[in-house]
């Protein structure tokens, strides 16, 4: 039972992070390698708002989430929009540069000490029973619920709302979408906003579980195999990919050797790239070789 | 055009003049992880070292000369450490100082050997080459010492345990931590303990619960961890959330004092060699005052290691007559005794054969819920550092 709980929590972490990779790639064909740093920015954002709105945790969380959306939109408007017409590789390299800049900036702004936003919010990370033999932390449970809400919300948004349908159209055929009157820059900005929001939520929940420090961005990279295994342009794929990677990791820790848990997800990724490079649920013809 | 040319010439002259100024001071070159992974451990050491040296300079310097500390950031990357070491030796520093991850050691050791100048590890893990029989050029004052720390920690476990010890181990997947935990596992058997499980987590793990679950399933009554703080404390917290009720002993990193007060668990023990600020020693009052004056952003409790490094540099330079050369400095470092005024259990002593210290003293602390304060569980226990 504990194994299932551990898989669910780890899968939720990976799914919440990898949906940001998928959203941006699906809409604009850009692989954002600054996603880990944007996630970390969300976590630091919560640390800041928690200290600003002492005694009002919900306001602190809400404003940190809004801040994440705003940061994502600004990244697109101020940076990625300037890459319009450039090659995909140039855009990917721009996101790497953005990641380096953000990492350095966060060290300068927030220092190198671990910060604990949960304490500042006045909450504790309680241990909750799951069935007769397993336990889950409150932050772990929130991660699972948060992932379900974010994915549920995104599925509903993409299928049922006007902006969601526009976003799918822009992802499928930007030229045709533009000719039909869809404002591509608006759609792309929204995609960056939503991706940074979901990454930010992941960062905030991880920070509530274990604090936030400069190494948090690395965890963003760990979710990358999940996104690729599932298929970079499929949200459902990201969810399944996260489950596969999380299961492999936890099973290796439990039954084989904990040392393998760090490398085997990348072996799974390599195997997937050899056998089915577009991932479990990705679209075959949409792949670009970068 | 003419003005630009003049400006360029003046700038060039200024650049050329800089080393000449430096020759009138004791120059020490530092390559440190001021950014990147590990900056949280190393940057406070360097900042504290810097404010201590500034304090020394404000009192007139050493032997009437100012001490110039040149700090270059290596971001914990070996390639940048190599470039830094090269640049510093070209600037004719008297000594190289490393405050960074162990992956940066090899290029700095190579450069120190090439230039034949001492290499001092401050705040970074002491390499085996500083233990007796020591490498002629490598020195170390960092609190933690491989093998000795595990000897101290397991001796504490043995002294505390009233029941047979079933011990679990936690390391991080970095060579230094794994080697130490492997050593501790072997040592525990010779001390009559039963090692039941060893977990090695990657740096960093998104969730430490899977590792903690495996540890808990082995049912240890003690767990020992010697790793970066994140792995030590996250594993402990995950164990507690899984309902484990045993005792956990781990290394007291720079942030231990703050973290004990945050965690507030009376069975979470930290073992270390630096006094905590709860001692309120006169030297700690001085550290507080200097930190306050320098408007340092790090908590004062993080700064002991850097102050010790500063005192070591000051003492070594004091015994180096002017005009200083790396060889004169090396001679003074080979016969050095630094009074640490209670920051450790005894003075730091280097000899020709021992560039680590002749005695390592350990204390153990935990949180006392009844007193709502950190309490000392074991006072200074000395371990002699001898040739193996």
pLDDT of residue A119 exceeding 70, the answer is yes
pLDDT of residue A288 exceeding 70, the answer is no
- pTM of the shown model: 0.88
Residue B83 gets the label, from left (phi > 0), alpha (psi -120 to 50) or beta, of alpha
Average pLDDT over residues B99-128: 94
pLDDT at site B4? 43
Q: Pick the residue of A16, A207, A210 with the most B CBs within 10 A to test the interface with B by mutation.
A: A210
Average pLDDT over residues B185-209: 94
How far is the C-alpha of A173 from the C-alpha of A179, rounded, in Å? 10
User: Which of the four pLDDT bands, split at 50, 70 and 90, describes residue A50?
Assistant: very high
User: Which of the four pLDDT bands, split at 50, 70 and 90, describes residue B94?
Assistant: very high
Average pLDDT over residues A216-223: 88
Contacts of A5 in chain B (CB under 8 A): 209
What is the DSSP secondary structure assignment for residue A281, as one 8-state letter?
S
Contacts of A103 in chain B (CB under 8 A): 35
Please tell me the total number of residues recorded for chain A in this structure: 290
Q: Are A116 and B262 in contact (CB under 8 A)?
A: yes
Residue B210 to residue A259, Cβ atoms within 8 A: no
Minimal Cβ distance to B40: which of A13, A114, A206: A114
Tokens standing for residue B108: 């700095």
Contacts of A216 in chain B (CB under 8 A): 204
Nearest CA in chain B to A203: B206
User: Which of the four pLDDT bands, split at 50, 70 and 90, describes residue B11?
Assistant: very low
Shortest alpha-carbon distance between residue B264 and chain A (Å):
13
SS3 B73: strand
pLDDT of residue B387 exceeding 80, the answer is no
Minimal Cβ distance to B39: which of A9, A107, A222: A107
What long-range pairs does A186-189 form, CB within 8 A, spacing at least 24?
A: A187/A27, A187/A163, A188/A27, A188/A28, A188/A76, A188/A80, A188/A81, A189/A73, A189/A76, A189/A77, A189/A81
Residue B242 to residue A262, Cβ atoms within 8 A: no
Domains within chain B, CATH numbers bracketed: 2-143+280-360 (3.40.50.2300), 148-277+362-384 (3.40.50.2300)
Shortest alpha-carbon distance between residue B367 and chain A (Å):
18
Rounded to a whole number of angstroms, the CA Rg of chain A reads 19
Neighbouring residues of B203: CB distance < 8 A, sequence distance ≥ 6 = A215, A218, B37, B172, B173, B174, B228, B230, B231
pLDDT at site A289? 52
How far is the C-alpha of A221 from the C-alpha of A17, rounded, in Å? 9
How far is the C-alpha of B216 from the C-alpha of A212, rounded, in Å? 26
Average pLDDT over residues A253-264: 86
Mean pLDDT, all residues of chain B:
91
Tokens standing for residue B207: 């969730």
pLDDT at site A262? 81
Tokens standing for residue A43: 């976590």
For the packed helices A35-52 and A88-110, what is the interaxial angle rounded to 10 degrees? Answer: 30
Contacts of B173 in chain A (CB under 8 A): 259, 262
Residue B210 to residue A10, Cβ atoms within 8 A: yes
Tokens standing for residue B209: 């619960």
Per-residue HEC secondary structure of A188-224 comes to HHHHHHHHHHHHHHHHHHHHHHHCECCCHHHHHHHCH
Tokens standing for residue B76: 């914990």
Nearest CA in chain B to A214: B37
Q: What angle do CA B192, B196, B197 make, to 5 degrees?
A: 135
| Sequence-ordered alpha helix ranges (H) in chain A | 2-28, 35-52, 57-78, 88-110, 117-121, 138-160, 162-172, 174-179, 184-210, 216-222, 224-230, 235-255, 264-275
For the packed helices A235-255 and B209-217, what is the interaxial angle rounded to 10 degrees? Answer: 30
Minimal Cβ distance to B297: which of A111, A249, A258: A111
Distance of CA A216 to the CA centre of its chain: 12
**Complex ipTM, two decimals?**
0.89
What is the percentage of chain B residues whose pLDDT exceeds 90?
83
SS3 percent helix, strand, coil of chain B, rounded to 5, is 45, 20, 35
Q: What is the tens place of the pLDDT at every residue in A149-168?
A: 999 999 999 999 999 999 99
Distance of CA A234 to the CA centre of its chain: 14
Average pLDDT over residues B184-199: 96
Contacts of B172 in chain A (CB under 8 A): none
How far is the C-alpha of A264 from the C-alpha of A58, rounded, in Å? 39
How far is the C-alpha of A252 from the C-alpha of A267, rounded, in Å? 13
Shortest alpha-carbon distance between residue A215 and chain B (Å):
6
Closest to B72 (Cα-Cα) out of B39, B122, B30: B30
Average pLDDT over residues A64-87: 93
Residue B39 to residue A3, Cβ atoms within 8 A: no
pLDDT of residue B10 exceeding 50, the answer is no
Q: What angle do CA B323, B327, B331 make, to 5 degrees?
A: 105
Residue B298 to residue A127, Cβ atoms within 8 A: no
Shortest alpha-carbon distance between residue A223 and chain B (Å):
10
User: Which of the four pLDDT bands, split at 50, 70 and 90, describes residue A285?
Assistant: low
Contacts of B240 in chain A (CB under 8 A): 127
Contacts of A261 in chain B (CB under 8 A): 202, 210
User: Which of the four pLDDT bands, split at 50, 70 and 90, describes residue B298?
Assistant: confident
Minimal Cβ distance to B242: which of A107, A135, A214: A135
Closest to B314 (Cα-Cα) out of B113, B107, B122, B41: B122
pLDDT at site B47? 94
How far is the C-alpha of B43 from the C-alpha of B29, rounded, in Å? 15
How far is the C-alpha of B114 from the C-alpha of B134, rounded, in Å? 18
Tokens standing for residue B290: 């200097």
Written as one string, the DSSP assignment of A208-266 is: HHH-B-TTHHHHHHHTHHHHHHH-TT-HHHHHHHHHHHHHHHHHHHHHS-GGGGGTHHH
Nearest CA in chain B to A210: B234
pLDDT at site B237? 96
Q: Are B153 and B146 in contact (CB under 8 A)?
A: no
How far is the C-alpha of B142 from the C-alpha of B120, rounded, in Å? 10
Residue A249 to residue B237, Cβ atoms within 8 A: no
Q: For residue B358, count other CB atoms closer than 10 A to its CB.
A: 18
User: Which of the four pLDDT bands, split at 50, 70 and 90, describes residue A287?
Assistant: low
Minimal Cβ distance to B243: which of A112, A127, A261: A127
Q: For residue B384, count other CB atoms closer than 10 A to its CB.
A: 8
How far is the C-alpha of B253 from the C-alpha of B270, rounded, in Å? 9
Minimal Cβ distance to A2: which of B213, B298, B302: B213
Minimal Cβ distance to A10: which of B204, B206, B241: B206
């Amino acid at each position: 039972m504990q194994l299932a709980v551990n898989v669910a929590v780890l899968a939720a972490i990976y799914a919440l992070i990898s949906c940001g990779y998928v959203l941006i790639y699906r809409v604009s064909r850009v692989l954002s390698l600054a996603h880990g740093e944007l996630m970390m920015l969300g976590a630091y954002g919560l640390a800041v708002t928690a200290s600003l709105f002492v005694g009002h945790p919900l306001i602190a969380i809400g404003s940190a989430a809004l801040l994440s959306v705003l940061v994502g939109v600004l990244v697109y408007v101020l940076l990625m929009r300037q890459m319009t017409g450039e090659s995909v590789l140039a855009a990917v390299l721009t996101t790497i540069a953005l990641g380096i800049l953000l990492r350095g900036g966060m060290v300068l702004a927030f220092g190198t000490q671990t910060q604990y936003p949960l304490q500042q919010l006045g909450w504790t990370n309680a241990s909750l029973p799951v069935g007769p033999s397993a336990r889950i932390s409150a932050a772990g449970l929130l991660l699972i619920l948060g992932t379900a809400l974010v994915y549920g919300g995104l599925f509903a948004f993409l299928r049922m709302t006007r902006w969601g349908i526009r976003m799918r159209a822009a992802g499928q055929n930007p030229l045709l979408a533009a000719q039909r009157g869809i404002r591509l820059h608006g759609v792309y900005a929204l995609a960056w906003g939503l991706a940074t929001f979901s990454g930010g939520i992941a960062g905030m929940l991880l920070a509530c579980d274990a604090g936030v420090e400069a190494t948090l961005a690395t965890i963003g990279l760990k979710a990358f195999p999940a996104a690729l295994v599932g298929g970079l342009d499929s949200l459902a794929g990201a969810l399944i990919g996260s489950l596969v990677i999380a299961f492999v990791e936890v099973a290796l820790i439990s039954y084989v050797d904990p040392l393998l848990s760090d490398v085997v997800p990348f072996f799974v990724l390599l195997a997937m790239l050899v056998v089915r490079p577009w991932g479990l649920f990705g679209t075959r013809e949409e792949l670009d070789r970068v | 055009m003419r003005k630009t040319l003049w400006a360029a010439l003046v700038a060039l002259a200024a650049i050329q003049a800089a080393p000449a100024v430096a020759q009138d001071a004791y120059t020490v070159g530092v390559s440190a992880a001021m950014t990147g992974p590990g900056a949280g451990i190393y940057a406070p050491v360097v900042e504290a070292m810097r404010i201590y040296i500034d304090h020394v300079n404000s009192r007139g310097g050493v032997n009437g000369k100012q001490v110039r500390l040149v700090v270059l950031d290596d971001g914990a990357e070996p390639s940048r450490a190599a470039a830094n070491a090269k640049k510093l030796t070209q600037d004719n520093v008297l000594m190289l100082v490393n405050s960074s991850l162990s992956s940066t050691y090899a290029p700095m050791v190579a450069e120190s050997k090439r230039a034949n100048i001492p290499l001092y590890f401050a705040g970074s893990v002491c390499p085996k080459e500083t233990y007796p029989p020591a490498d002629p050029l490598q020195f170390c004052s960092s609190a933690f010492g491989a093998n000795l720390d595990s000897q101290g920690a397991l001796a504490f476990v043995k002294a505390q345990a009233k029941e047979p010890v079933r011990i679990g181990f936690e390391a991080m997947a970095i060579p230094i931590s794994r080697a130490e935990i492997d050593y501790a596992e072997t040592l525990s058997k010779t001390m009559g303990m039963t090692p039941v499980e060893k977990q090695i987590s990657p740096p960093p793990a998104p969730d430490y619960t899977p590792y903690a679950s495996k540890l808990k399933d082995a049912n240890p009554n003690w767990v020992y961890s010697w790793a970066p703080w994140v792995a030590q404390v996250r594993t402990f917290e995950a164990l507690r959330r899984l309902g484990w009720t045993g005792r956990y002993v781990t290394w007291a990193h720079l942030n231990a004092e703050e973290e004990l007060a945050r965690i507030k668990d009376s069975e979470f023990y930290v073992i270390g060699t630096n006094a905590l600020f709860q001692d309120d020693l006169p030297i700690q009052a001085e550290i507080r005052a200097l930190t306050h004056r320098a408007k340092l952003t790090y908590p004062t409790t993080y700064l002991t290691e850097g102050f010790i490094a500063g005192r070591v540099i000051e003492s070594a330079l004091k015994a180096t007559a002017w005009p200083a050369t790396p060889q004169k400095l090396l001679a003074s470092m080979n016969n050095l005794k630094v009074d640490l005024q209670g920051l450790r259990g005894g003075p730091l002593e280097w000899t020709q054969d021992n560039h680590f210290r002749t005695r390592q003293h350990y204390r153990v602390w935990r949180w006392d819920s009844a007193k709502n304060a950190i309490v000392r569980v074991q006072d200074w226990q000395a371990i002699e550092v001898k040739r193996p």
